[in-house]
Structures are given as C-alpha cells and as structure tokens.
C-alpha cells in the first residue's frame, strides 16, 4: 500500500494491536486501497525483518509505522540502500495501545496520511566554540569545577565577592575576582563586563588575596558555567546556548553541567527557527511606535527594535515561536517546519480522519519531548489516548497562534487541547492570548466556550483523566459535520480569514460583525471625519495598505481585511481623530476598500490650480489669520489660500516680500565717518560755524 507515493509498512507488534490490513487500506482512501490489501506484519523488527530488507532495496520512499525500532531499521537501510528515504511514525502508543484501540482505525489512517507528507528541510546557522570557558562562582567549588574542565577547555575562574577562599596549592587555573555587570552573546561569542576586577596574588597565604580592583573590565569567552547561585545573567537562561547554570549545592547538577560544558568545543548547527520579512513588520513608522506584540512575548530577548521594524537574532532565539504566533502580518513565521506545512498537516490529519469515519475529533497539540513522554506513559501504564484524540506534534506548542487554531477547527476538529510542559515555563503569555482570541471567536459564533484550551499537568494520569473526561462536542456545524476543504494557500492572514469565513458559514449563531477584545489583530479604524483634514499622514504610516488615498482627488479609504490594529495610524494622526475598533466583519462589504472621507480639492484663489483640501486650508486660516505677524492683514492672510507659486508672486507684487532687503550698500569713506562725527557734535559738516 502506498500513500502519497510512500510504501507503507505496518506491524501489529506481536498482536498487541487490533489491525485489519484490508480495513486499514480502505480507511486510508481509494488510492491506497487500489494498491491492494495492506500486509500487516507481526514482528517486523525481528522474525519478519526480511520484509523490511526487501522493501528498502526497492526504489521509492518508505514509511514504517514504528518508532521504537527506528534505529535498527535506519542501520539496515544505511547498509542495504544508503540512498533510501525512510520515515517513521508511531501508531502504537498514539492509537493502538488504548482501551479504545479497536475503534482507532480512523485515527491510524489519519496518522499514516499525515506521516506520508513531504516535510521541507529547515535552514540552520553555525555556532563555533574554541573552548574558552569562564567558571563564575563564589568559593572553592568554582576552582574545583575549573580543574575538572581544564583537560577539555581553556578555563578561567572568576569569583564573585570571595570570602576566606583557601588558595590552591598549585595554581593550575587562573583565578580572578569580580562581579559581572553585563553579559551578552551566545555559545562561542559571549561578551562580559566585570566590575571590581582583580587577579589573585600569588603570595596569598591563609586566604586568597587580590590586587587593587578596577571597574569596567571587558572580556569574551565561548562558554559560561555559572555556579554563583544568584540571579542568572540572561533572561530565559535555560535556553541560552553555551550558558550553564546548575544549582551549586547539587553535586549531581554540577557534574551534569560540567559534562555538557566539556563537549562544547567545535562547530554546532542550530536551526533557524524563525523567518522574518522586514517589509511586513508593523512595528514603527517615522519614529512612531505601532505593534510591539513580538517584543512583548519574546522570553530570551532575541528581538529588538531596529528603526521601522524589529530584528531577530537567530543566535539567541531559542525557538519558542511566540513571536510567530502573535505576529499579525506574518512578518515573523515559524520555520521548523514552515507554517504552510503545519496547515497542510492539519488539513491532511483531520480530513483523513473524517473520511475514514471518525467523528468529534479532539486535536492534542504537544511537543516531541514532554508530549511524547506523556503519551507513551499513558499507553503503557494507563488507558492510552481515546480513539477520537488525534496527537499533533510540533516543535514548540507556543509556535501556534489563532491562525492554526482557526484552521484546525475549520478542518473539522471539535476541540483543541494544547499540552504544555516544564520547558514552556515563562513563555506561554503569547499562547494564552491566541487561545483567548480563538475562544472569543468561537463563542461569538455560537459554538460555545471550551473549544480551545491548555492542559497544564505533569502527571500522565492527570492528562489521561482530562482527555477521557472531555465531553463529546460536535464539530464545525453543531450537529452536522461540515469540515472545510479549502487549500491552505497564501499567508497567515489569508488562511485565518478562509477558516473564519467557513466557521461563520456553518455557525450555529452567525453574526455579521463579531466584536473582539482590545489588542486583537483584526478590526477597523474609526475616523471622526469632522476633524479629519485629509492630510493622509495615516496612509503614509499604514504598513499593510489598509488605509488608502486617491491620486485623483482628496480621499481616504479603508480596507478592513488588511487592518492588523497596529495603531500606527492613530499614533501618527496630527488631529488625533482616529480610534481602533477590534472586530471581525463577515459582510462582503468589508472585503474591499470603503471610502471614509472625500472632498473636492481646494483651488488657488489666484490661478485656480487645485493644491490642497478645503478643510486643511480652513483650519490653517483659522489658526493663523490675524494671529501671526506674517498674516496680520487680510491681504497677507489671503495668501494662505494661494498655491505656492502664487503666494510668492503676490508677496513681491505687494512690496512686502519677507526676504526683501533693498539695494546694495555703497562703500563707506573717511568723509562719511567725519560727517557722522560732526553731526553727533551738533554742527553741520558743510557749515562749521552752524550749531544745531
């Protein structure tokens, strides 16, 4: 049997799963069934290993429904056919090992269809470490840790406020004192600034003594081992490559950190988690701040303002994906894998489940670390996953936003549950805001609350109980299953609106306009037209083209589909007549540009040429006529109603040109100075005897 061109091999793991090859081939679709019945193996990794060996020698990609023995299969493939493309998926813990395993056929078909998709490769960056290590501590433990690393790394010890530290008998590692005031960088490129910096004195006797300290010493290193037990040097320190901060009071934690540090020499590839398109960023225009959503949620400080947009440092980015989840324009998109792949996976998983006869699907979003472990423990020691719960693994659960949740619900998920783990601590604010937005939209359309929520539990029994206790909630049409079929083409906003319009079409209580909470990335601008002078500063500031002008006449138009509620128009407007109204308008009229205000152009009172708007000229005249020295007379004030050319001509014609200085002055002579002196004395220089 083939799915998407991949030959599929399935094993029932020594009859621990109820698998019917003929029924499964039928559930996988017409194309798969046409390939013939699926031969279900019983011990594919042992007594029937020859089946895999025969298949792997054939041309074409292969999909094996087993992850436990993936290392064995990969080793054989490397020996028998090094060019073989072999992928693996887990249907045992995720479907077959369950109290409802016999009813999990639609789910298994969906998991196989999703696994058969082609996943594009992800770009990487290279981190280079030469092994220069700083051990930052407070006492002898830092010196001992440095000794243990000195065989692998070039180590220096920095002691923070050391007291009564016994001098080492042999100074085999350099020791300094100092307090790190500032630190930045990543593995292979850390830069620190140290205050109270001083080297140890070799003649120290009972306790380490140091030379006179100096402030602001700068240095760099490749790796930092922080044993101070104080405040971390970096935000989200556990995600900063090359920075290790174990509990100094835990020998096991320190030993584990030193083991990791010893391996941090050489070149390392790191995924480029986020793709960024600066031209789509709505952060700022003309020094006016607009959208700050990504800056507000980044836990590592990898995002910083950079003029009209932000910049994301891929060396610091830890890949939580919160910026991509909250970005309203799609300037930030997650790249592991690309968001388009996530949409296609959702569409394939949910549509395949529905076609195979599955109902009331619950999408369980999880990461491969905490989530896979929870699912495995539930399958091995508990009831497993219910047959209608479809696990959906992503690199980080915080990478998903309103667009993904809306797409999942439109494609047929009755509910979405996001399983978060210890690794998500401190970085779920963006996820919570996106879930809140999804809940607002679904409740507003009559689907009720509880469609999308978080499962925050560390105990697999608690996770299992919550999943099994979920009420059966119908999918996209409250009793009539009508999943969407649209292709997820276009950008983030396009896909979101396609999903929302489908959900609106089949909603129990469709509304024309759905109010949203402040800060939502959908809505309109409300312009107080009486105070608007059509200066069009808002048009120049709008980063998405939601506000438009007209080259033919003074006009301001608005396209609601393009508005991301960044606030740049409101912050830029000199008249302060713009307000933001967060909402989703499902009416057809909201899809095109709508005129907000238009005027006939104001024509020059002298030559008749149009050059401004009537409201702007009236406002200027009212503000300056008779109140400013340049426009004190009616004739001068009338110049404000003239175009630029006529204004200059009129000033010269009236003889009060502001820059007129008269003719050139003649040269001054001695006679001129003598004449002025005599006049000052009161005598006429032409008649010395006269007195004035």
Q: ∠ CA 484-437-573 to the nearest 5 degrees? A: 115
What does the longest C-alpha to C-alpha distance in the chain come to?
A: 142
The pairs formed by 35-39 with CB atoms below 8 angstroms and a separation of 24 or more are 35/1, 35/2, 36/1, 37/1, 38/1, 38/8, 38/10
Is it the case that residue 687 has pLDDT exceeding 80?
A: no
> What average pLDDT does this structure show over 124-140?
97
CATH 3.30.70.3270 fits 523-598, yes or no: yes
Instruction: Give 66-80 pLDDT, tens digit per residue.
Output: 999 999 999 999 999
> What average pLDDT does this structure show over 448-467?
96
Least confident range of 224-238, 256-270, 467-481: 467-481
Helix-, strand-, coil-residue percentages of the chain, each rounded to 5: 35, 20, 45
Is it the case that residue 475 has pLDDT exceeding 70?
A: no
The 3-state secondary structure of 574-594 reads CCCCEEEEEEEECCHHHHCEE
Whole-prediction pTM value?
0.87
DSSP character string of 406-453: HHHHHTT-SEEEEEE-GGGTT--HHHHHHHHHHHHHHHHTTS-S-SEE
pLDDT of residue 611: 81
Question: What gap in Å lies between CA 130 and CA 150, rounded to an integer?
Answer: 13
Q: Do domains 272-334 and 523-598 have the same CATH topology?
A: yes
Q: Which of 178, 273, 189, 184 is nearest to 237 (CA)?
A: 184
The pairs formed by 533-536 with CB atoms below 8 angstroms and a separation of 24 or more are 533/575, 533/613, 533/615, 533/616, 533/619, 534/597, 534/598, 534/599, 534/613, 534/615, 534/616, 535/574, 535/575, 535/616
Instruction: Give 165-198 pLDDT, tens digit per residue.
Output: 999 999 999 999 999 999 999 999 999 999 999 9
pLDDT of residue 148: 97
> What average pLDDT does this structure show over 409-413?
96
Q: Which CATH class is domain 272-334?
A: alpha beta
Q: Label residue 631 by pLDDT band (50, 70, 90).
A: confident
| % residues pLDDT > 70 (the chain) | 95
Task: Write phi, then psi, for 492 (nearest 5 degrees).
Answer: -60, -45
Q: Label residue 33 by pLDDT band (50, 70, 90).
A: low
| β partners of residue 327 | none
Question: What gap in Å lies between CA 587 and CA 484, rounded to an integer?
Answer: 19
pLDDT of residue 608: 86
The 3-state secondary structure of 102-147 reads HHCHHHHHHHHHHHCCCCCCCCEEEEEECCEEEEEECCHHHHHHHH
Least confident range of 416-420, 518-522, 596-600: 596-600
Q: ∠ CA 108-112-116 to the nearest 5 degrees? A: 170
CATH 1.10.3470 fits 357-511, yes or no: no
- Count CB-CB contacts under 10 A for residue 76: 17
> What average pLDDT does this structure show over 95-106?
97
Q: Which residues of 9-45 are buried (b: 16+ CB within 10 A; e: fewer)?
A: bbbbbeeebebebebbbbbbbeebbeeeebebbeebb
The mean of the pLDDT values for the chain is 92
> What average pLDDT does this structure show over 662-680?
76
* CB-based contact 419:374 (threshold 8 Å): yes
pLDDT of residue 479: 43
Domain ranges, ordered by start, for the chain: 2-88, 126-269, 272-334, 357-511, 523-598, 601-653, 666-692
* CB-based contact 27:106 (threshold 8 Å): yes
Instruction: Give 548-571 pLDDT, tens digit per residue.
Output: 999 888 899 999 999 999 999 999
Distance of CA 686 to the CA centre of its chain: 90
Q: Is 665 exposed, middle or buried (0-12, 13-18, 19+ CB in 10 A)?
A: exposed
Is it the case that residue 685 has pLDDT exceeding 80?
A: no
Question: What gap in Å lies between CA 300 and CA 319, rounded to an integer?
Answer: 10
Is it the case that residue 467 has pLDDT exceeding 90?
A: yes
> What average pLDDT does this structure show over 275-294?
95
CATH 3.40.50.300 fits 126-269, yes or no: no
Q: Which of 321, 324, 315, 301 is nearest to 396 (CA)?
A: 321
Is it the case that residue 340 has pLDDT exceeding 70?
A: yes
Q: Is 273 exposed, middle or buried (0-12, 13-18, 19+ CB in 10 A)?
A: buried
Question: What gap in Å lies between CA 363 and CA 351, rounded to an integer?
Answer: 12
Q: Label residue 477 by pLDDT band (50, 70, 90).
A: very low
* CB-based contact 438:365 (threshold 8 Å): no
Question: What gap in Å lies between CA 614 and CA 600, rounded to an integer?
Answer: 7
Coil, strand or helix at 244: strand
Q: Label residue 533 by pLDDT band (50, 70, 90).
A: confident
Task: Write phi, then psi, for 193 (nearest 5 degrees).
Answer: -120, 125
């Amino acid at each position: 049997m083939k799915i998407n061109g991949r030959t599929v091999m399935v094993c029932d793991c020594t009859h621990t799963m109820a698998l019917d090859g003929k029924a499964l081939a039928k559930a996988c679709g017409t194309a798969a069934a046409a390939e013939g019945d699926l031969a279900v193996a019983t011990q594919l990794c042992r007594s029937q290993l020859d089946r895999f060996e025969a298949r792997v020698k054939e041309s074409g990609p292969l999909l094996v429904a087993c992850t436990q023995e993936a290392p064995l299969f990969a080793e054989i493939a490397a020996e028998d056919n090094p060019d073989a493309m072999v992928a693996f998926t887990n249907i045992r813990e995720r479907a077959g090992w369950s109290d409802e395993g016999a009813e999990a056929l639609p789910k298994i078909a969906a998991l196989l269809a999703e696994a058969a998709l082609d996943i594009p490769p992800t770009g990487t960056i290279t981190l280079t470490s030469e092994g220069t290590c700083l051990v930052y501590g407070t006492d002898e433990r830092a010196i001992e840790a440095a000794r243990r690393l000195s065989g692998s790394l070039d180590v220096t010890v920095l002691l923070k406020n050391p007291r009564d530290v016994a001098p080492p008998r042999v100074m085999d590692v350099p020791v300094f004192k100092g307090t790190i005031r500032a630190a930045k960088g990543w593995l292979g490129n850390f830069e620190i600034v140290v205050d109270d910096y001083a080297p140890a004195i070799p003649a120290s006797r009972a306790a380490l003594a140091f030379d006179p300290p100096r402030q602001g010493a700068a240095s760099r290193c490749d790796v930092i081992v922080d044993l101070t037990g104080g405040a971390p040097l970096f935000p989200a320190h556990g995600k900063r490559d090359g920075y290790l901060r174990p509990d100094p009071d835990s020998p096991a934690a320190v030993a584990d950190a030193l083991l990791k540090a010893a391996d941090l020499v050489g070149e390392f590839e790191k995924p480029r988690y986020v793709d960024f398109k600066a031209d789509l960023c709505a952060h700022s225009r003309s020094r006016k701040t607009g959208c700050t959503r990504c800056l507000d949620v980044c836990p590592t400080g990898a995002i910083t303002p950079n003029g009209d947009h932000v910049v994301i440092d891929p060396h610091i980015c830890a890949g939580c994906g919160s910026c991509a989840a909250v970005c309203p324009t799609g300037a930030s998109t997650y790249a592991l894998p690309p968001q388009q792949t996530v949409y296609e996976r959702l569409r394939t998983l949910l549509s395949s489940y529905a076609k195979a006869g599955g109902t009331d699907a619950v999408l369980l979003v999880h990461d491969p670390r905490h989530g896979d472990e929870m699912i495995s423990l539930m399958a091995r020691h508990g009831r497993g996953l219910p047959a209608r719960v479809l696990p959906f693994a992503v690199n980080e659960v915080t990478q998903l936003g309103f667009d993904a949740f809306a797409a999942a619900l439109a494609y047929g998920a009755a509910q979405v549950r996001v399983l978060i783990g210890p690794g998500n601590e401190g970085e779920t604010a963006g996820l919570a805001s996106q879930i809140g937005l999804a809940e607002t939209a679904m409740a507003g359309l009559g689907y009720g609350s509880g469609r999308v929520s978080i499962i925050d539990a560390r105990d697999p029994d608690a996770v299992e109980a919550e999943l099994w206790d979920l009420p059966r909630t119908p999918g996209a049409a409250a009793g009539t299953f009508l999943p969407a079929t649209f292709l997820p083409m276009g950008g983030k906003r396009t896909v979101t609106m396609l999903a929302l319009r489908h959900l609106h079409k089949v909603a129990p209580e469709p509304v024309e306009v759905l109010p949203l909470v402040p800060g939502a990335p959908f809505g309109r601008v409300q312009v107080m037209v009486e105070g608007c002078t059509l200066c069009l500063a808002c048009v120049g500031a709008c980063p998405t083209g939601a506000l438009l002008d007209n080259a033919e006449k003074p006009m301001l138009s608005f396209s609601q589909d393009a508005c991301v509620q960044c606030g740049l128009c409101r912050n830029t407007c000199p008249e302060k007549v713009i307000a933001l109204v967060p909402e989703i308008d499902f009416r057809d009229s909201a899809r095109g540009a709508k005129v907000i205000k238009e005027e006939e152009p104001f024509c020059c009172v002298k030559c008749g040429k149009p050059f401004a708007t009537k409201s702007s000229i009236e406002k200027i005249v009212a503000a300056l006529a008779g109140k400013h020295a340049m426009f004190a007379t009616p004739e001068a004030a009338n110049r404000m109603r003239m175009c630029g050319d006529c204004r200059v001509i009129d000033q010269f014609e009236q003889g009060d040109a502001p820059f007129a200085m008269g003719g050139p002055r003649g040269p001054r002579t001695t006679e001129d100075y003598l004449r002025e002196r005599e006049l000052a004395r009161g005598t006429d220089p032409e008649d010395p005897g006269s007195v004035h």
